Structure 1
Amino acid sequence: MTNMRNDTDHHRMIRTILGTMILVSVAIAAGRIATVTSAEGDTAFLSANDRSRWCTIASLVEDGTYAIDRQIEIANPIHRNRRPWGTIDKVRHTGADGKLHYYSSKPPLFPTMVAGVYKLVHLSTGMTMTAQPIYVPRLILALVNLPMLAVFLVATTAVIRRVCESVEGQVMSVAATCFGTMMLPFTVSLNNHLPAAASMAAAMAIYLSAGDRIAGAQRGDSLRVSACSWCAMGMLAAFAAANELPALSMAVFWGVLAVWLDRRSVIPMAGGVAVVAVAFFATTWIAHESLRPPYAHRGVGAVVAHFEASTESPDQQLATDVQRVIVDRGLVPAEATFAIKPSDESKRYRVFADDRSFALVRDETGWQLSRWDDWYEYPGSYWQDGRRRGVDRGEPSRWIYFFHMTFGHYGLFSLTPIWCLLPFGFAMSLRTGPPEYRRMVAAILLATLVCFAFYLFRPMIDRNYGGVSTCLRWLLWFAPLWLAMVAVAIDACVRSTLGRRSVWALLAMSIFSMSTALSSPWQSPWLYRFWQFLGWIDA
């Protein structure tokens, strides 16, 4: 009886320690949200990135539209030249009314969901974000981000407790989860990385729980995996991909892993994925009358006509032919006002017909007239050549980019040293555990390599480390998956004094790095700023 009581007390103590760390992490995030303010002190928005989403949310509830024209023109009541809602993360295209409007460049699904929360806040309090741009966004952030952070922490902790054998390994791994990654700083701002990471953590927890249940059923225990669990896993995997497109790779792997584990998971998993897919494409269509998200519109659209002209620039005859074709095909009315102007791209011109636009591109045989599909080209666009600054200019050398992605100023291992244990965690996890666990590890490793290569081989304009942010944020959704791998390595390291001290050192450095970003995730990494101070990087 005494041994049973001691065992119960032991498990309660472990749960208390782990639960306390989760509570402290959420409380820190709550405190930061309660005081979050822009540098100018007139909103709770921290960057162009989150302002882009806030504009959509406010416009949906207050104006009933996805267009953000009104929001980006709101002026500071004291400093009239300041636009506190202004954002560079916007696109411009023709709306349903036939006129040009500005829209957020972010996929509309998540902002639409947050707009539902804002609607409830508005109905309950009567306050609006445009009238109260500090306190209303803080309230929404608390209602949206704190539960997602809790899901990320609880689900990842549940996985860690499955893969770690020692109490010391569990405690140190959960400490890394709560304080050693950049997820905590990103909780104080509206972004797509937190929902993606939380969804991925929950999907992983469901998968491993399902594996345990199926193994138990095979031993004769009365355990089964419900269709609701598989459906939830499908929804979570798809929602992660809806927020982070490269996470689609892992979403596919989750589907394969689930079917490998239980063929009966196919229909409920597919149903869960379908729910998110329908919501994603429906909101995109309603917002933009396109099934592609805004960031996919960066070129020319369908071909309208081809002209066999030899001139290097449009002349009067070509302009007349272009106008005739556009009018004859009923694309614009005959009384429309036409103009042809140079585009940002070489050998490309923009044909204006009132609020409609077409692209006129010089090719080897003449001129090709296409529908305009570059939503990032508009007057004053930050994304035009010559206007981008800092890391947004892109890194010309892939070798230099690779270095800074790993051990440089935006490095995974230099900014979050606990990830240095990843290779050991993968190697150990691939050799131990039940088959379904090893298959999951292989899938995570493959997805990691694929996504890393995807970003490494992007065009120069996209080799910008995710822009001005406190880390290589595009890979943040891997955090729960990597933490599960790191936990295995930590569990092995704590068995020796040297290993334990090494983990402490890596964890301490990771927490230090995380703490430098608590004021805002939308700032250059501390290492980047330090290198600027040393003169190694041009400001």
Structure 2
Amino acid sequence: MTNHNDRGFSVATVYTLLIVIALSVVSGRIATVISREGDTPFLSANDRSRWCTIAALVENGTYQIDPFLERRGIKQNRRPWATIDLVRHQGRDGQLHYYSSKPPLLPTLYAGVYWCVSRTVGMWLSDYPIYVGRIVLWLVNVPTLFVFLLCTILAIDRITQSVWAKCFLAASVCFGTMLLPFTIALNNHLPAAASAAVVLYVYVRSLDTTTGHGWWLLAGLAAGFTAANELPALSMTVFWAGLLLLVRRPALPAYCAGVLVVAAAFFATNWIAHQSLRPPYMHRGDGDLIATLPQTNPGVEEVRSALLKQALAAEQSDIQIGPSRVPQRSRVLVDGKRQFGLIQLDDGPAQLRHWDDWYDYPSSYWVDGKRRGVDIGQPSRLVYAAHMTFGHYGIFSLTPIWLLMPIGLLGLRASRSTELRLLLAAIALATVVCAVFYVLRPEIDRNYGGVSVCFRWMLWFAPLWLFAIAGPVEWLSGRSWGRCLTFVLLAASVTSVSISLDGPWQSPWLYRFWHYLGWIAP
């Protein structure tokens, strides 16, 4: 006969075993991760963009990544650092430079890790990318995954009674979400999910344990960091504050202080990198109006005259007018380093504006005619919503354990606790807000997150959704058919994870299978 203490010990042992196995699987993959060409551990343009920033900061002391884009690999015709996830704008030196399109806060933090590694092993990432890159990747991703696993499991453990449910949910945390493939590449989704797990744990811990201001400061830092890595997660950051206002008002000042610290770091690093408070991906339009030119299709001299009046050019300035990615807009280049936009209005005058489309540069991938596959964008919002939920990039079709999530978010199993009902309501509202946000994006942004193994933009919900399914799983654990059902759902989810362990930057297996069957165009 097993007493209560023995049972508790056995559950803790299962938790430990599952976490150790998950971390070991990831460590093994990181130890062997390598690009298709065999010269770097960078798997796609997405993580190469961040690697370029990390190397540039430590080796050159700048966010400008120009020198790395042209570096040659084992094959002289290959550029292993090249990326499409970049922008171009004028730097502090007055010249045009390339930068990563990713918000700079996360790469700046990772650059600190690389600085320590480079001083320890005496090697540059640019010279020994495979060796140094794998070390840095392990040092940042494995501890982050550990935080996600531990905080999510501990939060769920506090609200479940069934030993079977506890163990099943721990297995789901470790192997049932699509986060595991993302641990072998630099990305923002893993740290966002880990941060969300920290806030979840602090909140659940406060339900039955005295929680000091230090814990709430930590929760604020984690909530702010979640939003810094996933902008739509700002909705949940606000909802966390609303929850504390309703049920833990004394914790609100410390929580808000933590959020403000991260916000200050986010905007400060963005300003240092780009001299702008807006992150790079928000610079995709036309800047402020400089002048309205009465002529239709004005030439160089008309443009020069307008720029002279604003002291934006000189009489001897070399002014060139060329095409841009927007048909009605021309690029005005002054002395090869300053850009302006010349927009021709329909049947009317032209407008001369400051340049604010950082994605528009020679050889840019982000122009009509160059984008391929899902990057083209889905014209139909209805089709997009169908595929991001139950289709080839489907949240539910690729990870079937999430089919229990809507039931859990109803809060039926948490009726005994007002705090839990409010938490589940907040998670449900944030889920709807973010899903609607992505469906309503412009066509160019309706691309499922590009080529990746799942709809990655909502991966940060993983700890919150796992928490939500705890109620349904506990109810099902008391029924033999219920246990069979949960086993099937988890097995299908783990299958998707295992297929994707080669790397996160590949199309979902459903997408590839449907393409093989001829159901979707390449």
Range class of TM-score, shorter chain: over 0.9
- C-alpha distance in 2, partners of 1:332/1:48? 36
Contact 2:411 2:424 in 1 (8 A): no
Taking structure 1 as reference, are residues 249 and 430 closer, same or farther at Cα in structure 2, changes over 3 Å only?
A: farther
Contact 2:414 2:471 in 1 (8 A): no
- C-alpha distance in 2, partners of 1:429/1:210? 21
Taking structure 1 as reference, are residues 433 and 149 closer, same or farther at Cα in structure 2, changes over 3 Å only?
A: farther
CA RMSD of aligned residues (A): 1.3
Deviation at 1:537, TM superposition (A): 1.8
Q: Which residue of structure 2 lines up, in the alignment, with residue 220 of structure 1? A: none
Deviation at 1:261, TM superposition (A): 2.1
- C-alpha distance in 1, partners of 2:232/2:64? 27
Contact 1:429 1:485 in 2 (8 A): no
Counterparts of 1:62-141 in structure 2, within 5 Å, are: 62-76=59-73, 78-141=74-137
Could you say what secondary structure the match of 1:51 adopts?
Answer: helix
Q: Which residue of structure 2 lines up, in the alignment, with residue 420 of structure 1? A: 403
Q: Which residue of structure 1 lines up, in the alignment, with residue 327 of structure 2? A: 346
Q: Which residue of structure 2 lines up, in the alignment, with residue 217 of structure 1? A: none
- C-alpha distance in 2, partners of 1:192/1:249? 17
Taking structure 1 as reference, are residues 93 and 430 closer, same or farther at Cα in structure 2, changes over 3 Å only?
A: farther
- C-alpha distance in 2, partners of 1:486/1:99? 53
- C-alpha distance in 1, partners of 2:442/2:30? 36
1:251 to 218, 237, 251: 237
Deviation at 1:369, TM superposition (A): 1.1
1:298 to 261, 273, 284: 284
- C-alpha distance in 2, partners of 1:497/1:263? 43
1:534 matches 2:517? yes
Letter of the 1:496 counterpart: R
1:402 matches 2:385? yes
Letter of the 1:8 counterpart: N
- C-alpha distance in 2, partners of 1:332/1:200? 49
- C-alpha distance in 2, partners of 1:12/1:378? 60
1:58 to 55, 59, 71: 55
Q: Unaligned regions of 5+ residues in structure 1, if any?
A: 214-223
Deviation at 1:425, TM superposition (A): 1.1
- C-alpha distance in 2, partners of 1:500/1:51? 43
Deviation at 1:342, TM superposition (A): 2.2
Could you say what secondary structure the match of 1:96 adopts?
Answer: coil
- C-alpha distance in 2, partners of 1:110/1:37? 22
Letter of the 1:439 counterpart: L
1:442 matches 2:438? no
Q: Which residue of structure 1 lines up, in the alignment, with residue 228 of structure 2? A: 242
- C-alpha distance in 2, partners of 1:406/1:386? 28
Q: Which residue of structure 2 lines up, in the alignment, with residue 6 of structure 1? A: 3
Letter of the 1:392 counterpart: D
* TM-score normalised to structure 1 length: 0.95
- C-alpha distance in 2, partners of 1:20/1:429? 31
Counterparts of 1:269-308 in structure 2, within 5 Å, are: 269-308=255-294
Could you say what secondary structure the match of 1:510 adopts?
Answer: helix
- C-alpha distance in 2, partners of 1:368/1:280? 33
Deviation at 1:504, TM superposition (A): 0.3
Contact 2:409 2:427 in 1 (8 A): no
Could you say what secondary structure the match of 1:368 adopts?
Answer: strand
Could you say what secondary structure the match of 2:3 adopts?
Answer: helix
Taking structure 1 as reference, are residues 165 and 418 closer, same or farther at Cα in structure 2, changes over 3 Å only?
A: same
Letter of the 2:263 counterpart: A
Deviation at 1:431, TM superposition (A): 5.0
Letter of the 1:362 counterpart: Q
Could you say what secondary structure the match of 1:165 adopts?
Answer: coil
Q: Which residue of structure 1 lines up, in the alignment, with residue 172 of structure 2? A: 176
Q: Which residue of structure 2 lines up, in the alignment, with residue 356 of structure 1? A: 338
- C-alpha distance in 1, partners of 2:243/2:78? 51
Deviation at 1:212, TM superposition (A): 2.1
Q: Which residue of structure 1 lines up, in the alignment, with residue 205 of structure 2? A: 209
1:38 to 35, 47, 51: 35
- C-alpha distance in 2, partners of 1:526/1:144? 27
- C-alpha distance in 2, partners of 1:212/1:417? 32
Deviation at 1:264, TM superposition (A): 2.0
- C-alpha distance in 2, partners of 1:259/1:229? 16
Could you say what secondary structure the match of 2:340 adopts?
Answer: strand
- C-alpha distance in 2, partners of 1:18/1:336? 68
2:254 to 268, 286, 303: 268
Contact 1:430 1:441 in 2 (8 A): no
Between the aligned residues of both structures, percent identity stands at 52
Could you say what secondary structure the match of 1:326 adopts?
Answer: helix
Could you say what secondary structure the match of 1:163 adopts?
Answer: coil
Q: Unaligned regions of 5+ residues in structure 2, if any?
A: none
- C-alpha distance in 2, partners of 1:430/1:459? 38
Q: Which residue of structure 2 lines up, in the alignment, with residue 152 of structure 1? A: 148
- C-alpha distance in 1, partners of 2:274/2:35? 29
Query: Which stretch of structure 1 is more off in the superposition, 359-368 or 513-522?
Result: 359-368
- C-alpha distance in 1, partners of 2:411/2:111? 44
Letter of the 1:60 counterpart: L
1:334 to 303, 311, 315: 315
Cα deviation 1:383-435 (Å, max 9, x = unaligned): 01000000000111112111111111100111001111112111244752311
* TM-score normalised to structure 2 length: 0.98
- C-alpha distance in 1, partners of 2:30/2:414? 42
Could you say what secondary structure the match of 2:129 adopts?
Answer: coil
- C-alpha distance in 1, partners of 2:168/2:204? 21
- C-alpha distance in 2, partners of 1:176/1:268? 32
- C-alpha distance in 2, partners of 1:276/1:423? 31
Contact 1:211 1:261 in 2 (8 A): no
Could you say what secondary structure the match of 1:211 adopts?
Answer: coil
Q: Which residue of structure 1 lines up, in the alignment, with residue 436 of structure 2? A: 453
Deviation at 1:363, TM superposition (A): 2.6
- C-alpha distance in 1, partners of 2:211/2:265? 26
Q: Which residue of structure 2 lines up, in the alignment, with residue 320 of structure 1? A: 301
Deviation at 1:334, TM superposition (A): 3.3
Work out the number of aligned pairs and report it: 520
Could you say what secondary structure the match of 2:352 adopts?
Answer: strand
